[in-house]
Structure 1
């Protein structure tokens, strides 16, 4: 699947406002069937990038290709096949959920059976006769997603789809998004500033900070960047270090702990046996893996509130 040409491809995509780069030379590549998580702190350039993909913001430089076509020359065809929810959902508060969907159906020129199907996917079929201004925040968000799904697009672009929702609402949206590629053949590109969200939903990830794309690849490849370490706590770290050096093992000493790059179980076992036989007390052996947050901080090289 990865050999096929990407559904979304940007080349040197940049946007500057008043001489300041909001998005700088971003080369995105999103393939069919992916849930692509676009991750970065608030103000990193995620929304601006998504707006450029939808033709809502004009790039300062760079190219955008969607479905293999240039956005500049095939804008109408491309946008006809995309559903999107950017920032907060737009709806008429005085109309019911169903009436809002009918307005969108006429705009998108799709059959009315799509309305029932889209409302069912977002689990609003039993609330469709209620006025939209009486919906909870989670229901409004689901209505926004139903509108974006109405034409059953090949690509769905969602900007911070779980923003402001309670844990139950977040769980529902997460489950809904995860079902879209398999059940409906919809590729999803979603942004979030929450690492936990991307970790639980995305199959691929792009990490952006200060307008620059720092990492792009599968979630597995990101986790592979994350080499586990073994930490051994001992009452005599300096002596333990010398003994391990005779085995050809070069630990780093941090307080009372020896830190070693990842080792196989039998190697850990041998180290433990050697230390115990040398009358060095080993009180704890732990495997440490970085969280996605640690990896993010390693890539950005600075602390950012996420």
Structure 2
């Protein structure tokens, strides 16, 4: 796979404090890359450095295989972005705002109408933006970012403040972009539940440092798995397991153990039944991704 975005030891220091510290991102062609972290972790600062809106203190940004400093104009011509909240002229219609962006990006009329159709605003294009709902404004912001049909789309918290229906619309839109239009998407969020549903790859940043990067499957594989047994006599069963060198913990009516293979589980079940202890239930309990996220970013941090 071609690497669309890569950074090498990307850092930004404010008054002696690093907001972003040695971040090495790798975003591949066709990815929906979820950039996760608590509020204030360094997500927006990183994205602004990718777009040249903030000058890095240290490190290098490469986009489409080219050094950003040397090929800024070309890279930005192939990139669309929505950073923080979108900006519009509220007294103008959605279409008029799109025309302004059309002039800035020098794109044909068909791009304007197609971008509005993608975000489902073609029927509201003649309505003043000041009368748009928050969700409509977010969709218009994405349409403006899409107007040149870029190879790379960078979205910073695009579902902020939206209701569940609006979040669902944005999620469906983002998922469709790589396959339908060949657009690689880099999206930041502090909500794991949103990224989990749309991302193919994920990077997790905390206090300016990248603490995880990989596919969603790789992230899921890091969540701990435990075996939970429920018996007719948990105290007696627990004692038997201790005698076998295991360390069961009684929690919520279950004896929980470290992950065991199928042969070991079958052996435990047989031992308990032969001892006259009825085994009521055997389950595999896996740590949720949300708990794993909290673990990676520090439990004191809010989502």
Normalising by the smaller structure, the TM-score range is over 0.9
- State the alpha-carbon separation in 1 of the partners of residues 276 and 106 from structure 2: 79
Q: Which among 274, 277, 280 is matched to residue 274 of structure 2? A: 277
Partner of 1:36: 33
Following TM superposition, by how much is the alpha carbon of 1:245 offset from its aligned partner in structure 2, in angstroms? 6.0
Following TM superposition, by how much is the alpha carbon of 1:304 offset from its aligned partner in structure 2, in angstroms? 1.4
Mean Cα deviation higher: 174-183 or 269-278: 269-278
Aligned residues: 302
Runs of at least 5 residues in structure 1 that lack an aligned partner in the other structure: none
* 1:170 lines up with 2:138 in the alignment: no
1:77-116 pair list within 5 angstroms:
77-116=74-113
1:1-306 pair list within 5 angstroms:
1=1, 4=2, 6-234=3-231, 236-237=233-234, 239-244=236-241, 250-255=246-251, 257-265=254-262, 267-306=264-303
Say if 1:37 and 1:206, in contact at 8 Å, map to a contact too: yes
Aligned residue for 1:163, secondary structure, equals coil
RMSD: 1.8
Say if 2:242 and 2:248, in contact at 8 Å, map to a contact too: no
TM-score by length of 2: 0.94
Say if 2:37 and 2:297, in contact at 8 Å, map to a contact too: no
Say if 1:97 and 1:131, in contact at 8 Å, map to a contact too: yes
Following TM superposition, by how much is the alpha carbon of 1:266 offset from its aligned partner in structure 2, in angstroms? 5.8
Q: Deviations over 1:38-74 (max 9, x none)?
A: 0001000000000000000111111101111111111
- State the alpha-carbon separation in 2 of the partners of residues 220 and 249 from structure 1: 32
TM-score by length of 1: 0.93
Say if 1:86 and 1:158, in contact at 8 Å, map to a contact too: yes
Following TM superposition, by how much is the alpha carbon of 1:276 offset from its aligned partner in structure 2, in angstroms? 2.5
Q: Deviations over 1:208-250 (max 9, x none)?
A: 011110000000011111232111134544542453467x672
Runs of at least 5 residues in structure 2 that lack an aligned partner in the other structure: none
Aligned residue for 1:7, secondary structure, equals strand
Say if 1:251 and 1:258, in contact at 8 Å, map to a contact too: no
Aligned residue for 2:55, secondary structure, equals coil
